[in-house]
Every structure is written in structure tokens, then in C-alpha cells.
Amino acid sequence: MPKKRSYLKRFLIWRYKSISQKNFVFLLSILVGLLAGLVSVTLKNITFAIEALLEKGIAFSQNQLYFILPFIGLLLVYLFIKYIAKRPINLAIPTVLLSLSKKGGVLHYKKIYYPLITVPLTVGFGGSVGLLGPAIVSGAALSSNLSRLFHIDKKTRTLLIACASAGAIASIFKSPIAAIVFAVEVFSLDLTFASLLPLLIASVSSVLTSYFFLGNEVLFNFKITDTFAIKDTFFYLALGVGTAFGSIYFSKIYFAVLKFFNRFRTAKQRLLFGGLAIGIMLYFIPPLYGEGFGFINNLLAGDHVSALGKTPFDNYSNNIWVVIALLFGITVFKAIAMTTTFAAGGSGGIIIPTLVMGSALGNVVAKIINNLGLGFHVSEANFTLVGMAGLIAGVLHAPLTAIFLIAEITGGYALFVPLMITVSISFILTKNAMEHTIYTRELAEKGALLTHDKDKSVLTLMNIDNVIETNFITLAPEMTLGDMLHNGVAKSNRNLFPVVNTEGQLVGIILLDDIRNVMFDQTLYQCTSVETFMHNPPDYILYEKDNMHRVMKKFQSSGAWNLPVLKDGKYLGFVSKSKLLTAYRRELINFTS
């Protein structure tokens, strides 16, 4: 071990002498892109191998008993978490966002390989979730630990984590431009030349990794044949409204299902109920099985029979309205099946399920238009694609990612105008209805969300522990004026004194100005006490509840120069406005440099 450290130390010394920081970041971007691509390819291959094994080597699928497979996968994940990981699985991308805002971009090394175990077990056995989110967190953990190994500063570590995220998307979808835009939109990265070039390098190297291992294989094998017609503008506007409502439903049902499962006391109870619920949904709606790439490709090919698979309603599949109802059922139940998989203990992402739901919704809208009997006809394949973009824009609040992702998937920009129409409508309506996404809601409530608002981001990055001052002499309420002057004022270089009782609770404060006119009157030294002069502070800072946004607002509203901090109801220290503003300026310079 010492020898390895010696080699690393020699390398770091050589690097500082021979390679500039800028060029070293470029080299690390290449490495991060390759590793993120490798992780994504590995995750995809393991998952697809499990799916193939279950389809060909086990009699479940032949006997139409596939709906019990997700329960088996969830059981295996449950056993892995309980006996090996011994810690719950958090939603992938919020984990990365939290690490960037509150942990300096530090991710535990176990997050590199845990997704490579839990996600294939969940998705490979039919869990209705995606691979992309876990691929991002695994690549981000690799990047984080690589940055720590090479002593990279916090700001550059954030950039490299964004590079890993872009690399994961570029590798899975083979869409490097959308990957860069995703990193900027979701991770609130400032798009400057200094950040753009590493993102571009990481995306390209990740795509090359994907081509090396998978060849020209793509997730969606589709070429646009029907171009945009101006007469279809109104229908794309209607699709935008539809995908906005679908996005709002997706987010609300996600939190509603999780809230319902929180009623169960143990993980075992959630597993049993969730596994049963997923099995029932799969029996009636087979396309909910697994990620759903096959479902999307069948819709794009115009084969809704193969997309729907074998259902209890096959005898009615010749009726187009039954088909529409079944596809709408997928739109409704995909979000429920996905969230149930999470709640039951599964591991995965939400981006691919969002695409599945959007494809079904877009196809439903197109089929309704074409079968109303009013003489209208639109391209069902195009609406399927644009519906996917509308859901991505609404659910993730990432409109540019949605546009470029679909454009790159289709190999051109023939749908650019309808994409812009639908995506903009979906994003505007959803953003007005729901300020935060599935990824960001809980982080925003905790005050741990980075945004493109620099002021809010700087406050989020600040740590309240760094601005708390504890060098104040505390006074007891029963202390006499003489004792306060001799044991407090005479020994302190501060003009503020907290008054604390025997239980450590703050009962008031005294300013030097409060006693200035009596401090030399010796006749009062023994007959007056601290309690006579103390008063309540203008406001309090609650250590457990107040983030830096609230702290700054309390200073603005109270006009105070110092506010006391309470932890568990007891006095901890003070935050001064001068120290707070100094720390803010320092963090702002670091954030924008």
C-alpha cells in the first residue's frame, strides 16, 4: 500500500510540473467518458443477458407466467440490500444532485458497482424501470472517486461528474449533443467554453466506447418518412397540452404511490404488496414488463399488435378503439408500475419509463385523430416520437434535452418544428403547474438544490457550520450586574452576550448598549440582575430546519447584525451578518471563477 501511494505521489508531482490544469481536465474528460461508456455498456449487456436467459432458458414466458418474474427480481434485490449492501437504495439522479450541492461532489465508491447488481436484477426480471439513471450515478461515482484520487478541486469535480452523466446518456442513446444539453439542464451547469469542451470530449469518447462494444446497434431503429406539414400544427399544439397533463399526472402519481407505500412498516411488506401489484398489472398489460424499448420500436414500426403483446383482450384487438384504450392504459399504468417497482425496493431510473409513456400517449393522440372520421390524417410514428419529447420536457423540465434527443435518435432534424411546438407547450404548462420535478422536489424542500440562479446556488453550496461563531461569553439570568461586568464584559471582545439557563436554553440576549448607561453605577451591581436587562433577539436560526436561504431572509427581514442559532432547542452560537456576507462573497467568487 505505501508503495502504491508513493507511485501516486510521484505521478501527481510530475503532473503538477508537466501538465497544466486545463490540459489535465481534458485528459480526465476522455477517461471519464470512456469509463462512463463502459459502465453503461456493461449495465445494458448484463440486463439484456438476464432478459434473454429468462425468455429462452426458462419456461415462465412460454407458460405465460412471466408476471411473477418481477417479484423474484425484487426479492433478490431485497436480499442483496439486507445482507450485503445494508443500506437503502435512493433514486439515482437526486443522489448525484445532493452530492453536488451538499457534499462537494463526493460519492461513495460503492455506488460504482451497486447499480451493476441491483438494476439488472430489477429490470432484467421485468421491473418497470429504466437503466439510464443508475448508469449516470455509477459513472458519476467513478468520476467522483477518480477526482479525489487525483486531488481535483470541488468545482472541477462537479464538471467531471457532469461529464460522466453526459457520457452515460451518449453511450446508451448514441446522442452526444443531447447528452451535453442534459448535463447543462439537469445539473444546472454554466455553459461556458471551459465547461463545454470537457463535456464534448466526454460525450464523444463515451459514444466511441459504445460503438466499439455494440457496433451500430441502436435502441430505436427508425428513419423519418413523413415530413412535417403546416396543417398539422394545431394537432401538435394539442399533443403539447396532452403531454403536459401526462407529465403532471406522472409526477403526482409518483409521489402519491410512494406516500401510499410509506404506510407499510417494513421493507418486506412493501416487497410483498408491490410484487403482487406489479404482477397483476403485467397480467393485464404485458408491455409494462421491463424497460419497454421493444414496445416503442413496435409503435414506431406501426405494429400496435406486437406492441401490445398477448393480453386478455385479444379477441377485441380488431376494434381500433379497444387498441386505443389499451394504449391509453399503458399511458396511465406505466407511471404506477414504475413507482411501484421503486416502492417495493427495486432499483432503476425514470427516463426510459417517461419515454415509454410518452410514446404511448403520442400514438393514442394520433390514432384518435385518424379515426374520428373527420378526414384528418397524421403520422402515428411522428406523433409517437414527439410524444416522447413532450413527456421528457414536462417530467424532467428539460425541453432542450427532449428536442435534441429525439432529433438525434431519428438521425435528422425533419421533426424540429413539431418538436419545438409540442415541447414548449408541455414545458410551459408543466412548469407553471409544478415548480419542481421528481428529481428536485425533495432537494428543494431541504434547500439542497442547485439551479441556474447563481444567488440561490451559492447559498445552497454554503454550509451553516462555517458561519456559526461560538466565541461569545454566556451569562446566567440570575447573575448580578457586577458579576456580569467582571466575568462577562471585562473578558469579552464582543458587544453581545447570550443569556442561557442551566438547561442550555437561550432565554434572552444583552447588548452592550443595553447596560452602557448603568455599567458604572456601582450601587446597582448587587441589587440588579442580568434578567433585568435581557430581551428577546429579533429572530432565531434553527439549526435543523433553516437552510442558508432562510438564514439570509431572516437577516433581511429582521435588520439584525447577529442572530442566535438554536440546535435541539438549545443555544449553539451566533451568525453575524458580516461573516455571512464574507462567506457568501468567497463562495460566489469560487462558483463563478
Residue 567, CA atoms < 13 Å, CB-side half-sphere:
8
Q: Do 221 and 297 contact (CB within 8 A), yes or no?
A: yes
The Cα 243–Cα 373 span in angstroms is 23
Angle CA(100)–CA(445)–CA(561) in degrees, nearest 5?
Answer: 85
In this structure, the answer to whether residues 316 and 183 fall within a common structural domain is no
Q: In the chain, how many H helices and how many E strands?
A: 25, 6
To which residue does cell 510521484 refer? 10
Q: Does some domain include residue 224?
A: no
Q: Please give the tally of structural domains in the chain.
A: 3
* 435 and 484, same domain (yes or no): no
Whether 240 is in a domain gets the answer yes
Pick the last residue of a domain from 400, 424, 451.
451
CATH of the domain at 518: 3.10.580.10
H or E stretch at 333: helix 320-343
- 221 in a domain, yes or no? no
| Residues 385, 298 share a domain | yes
Amino acid at 400: L
Q: Are 502 and 583 in a shared domain?
A: yes
Which pLDDT score is estimated for 449? 65
- Report the pLDDT value the prediction gives residue 4, as an integer from 0 to 100: 54
- Does the predicted TM-score (pTM) go above 0.85? no
- Does 219 reside within a domain? no
Please tell me whether residues 435 and 472 are part of one structural domain. Answer: no
Are 60 and 85 in a shared domain?
yes
CA angle 321, 325, 327 (to 5 degrees): 115
Domain of residue 527: give its range: 456-592
Q: Could you tell me if residue 550 is inside a domain?
A: yes
For residue 454, the tally of other CB atoms under 10 A from its CB is: 14
The dihedral of CA 43, 46, 48, 51: what is its sign? negative
Query: Per residue in 524-537, pLDDT tens?
Result: 888 888 888 898 99
Report, in angstroms and rounded to the nearest whole number, the Rg of the chain calculated over CA atoms: 29
Whether the Cβ atoms of residue 350 and residue 395 lie closer than 8 Å to each other = yes
Both 164 and 191 in one domain: the answer is yes
Q: How far apart are CA 275 and CA 488, in angstroms?
A: 65
CATH number of domain containing 95? 1.10.3080.10
Predicted local distance difference test score (pLDDT) of residue 489: 85
Domain stops at, among 152, 185, 214 = 214
Under DSSP, is residue 559 helix (H, G, I), strand (E, B) or coil? coil
User: Do 206 and 243 sit in the same domain of this protein?
Assistant: no
The per-residue pLDDT for 452 is 62
Q: Is 560 part of any domain?
A: yes
| Whether residues 39 and 158 fall in one domain | yes
Do 120 and 349 meet the contact criterion of CB atoms below 8 Å apart? no
> Looking at the structure, do residues 402 and 421 belong to the same domain, yes or no?
yes
Both 275 and 422 in a single domain? Answer: yes
Task: Based on the fold, state whether residues 431 and 532 are members of the same structural domain.
Answer: no
CA-closest candidate to residue 147, choices 334, 12, 264: 12
* pLDDT at residue 63, as a whole number: 47
pLDDT computed for residue 297 by the predictor: 87
Q: Which amino acid does the sequence have at 460?
A: T
Handedness of CA 400, 403, 405, 411 (dihedral sign): negative
Are 327 and 365 contacting, i.e. CB atoms less than 8 angstroms apart? no
Domain termination residue (choose one: 187, 214, 241): 214
**Which residue from 378, 385, 426 is spatially nearest to 407, judged by alpha carbons?**
385
Intervals of the chain under pLDDT 70: 1-5, 56-66, 190-193, 218-219, 412, 447-454, 591-593
Read out DSSP for 462-490? --GGGTEE-----B-TT-BHHHHHHHTGG
Indicate whether 65 belongs to any domain.
Answer: yes
The pLDDT value given to residue 286: 85
Q: Give the β-pairing of 562-567 and 541-542.
A: parallel
Q: Quick check: is 83 in a domain?
A: yes
DSSP state, residue 283? H
What is the SS3 assignment for 188-210? Answer: CCCCCHHHHHHHHHHHHHHHHHH
Residue (of 467, 447, 445, 442) closest to 547 by Cα position:
447
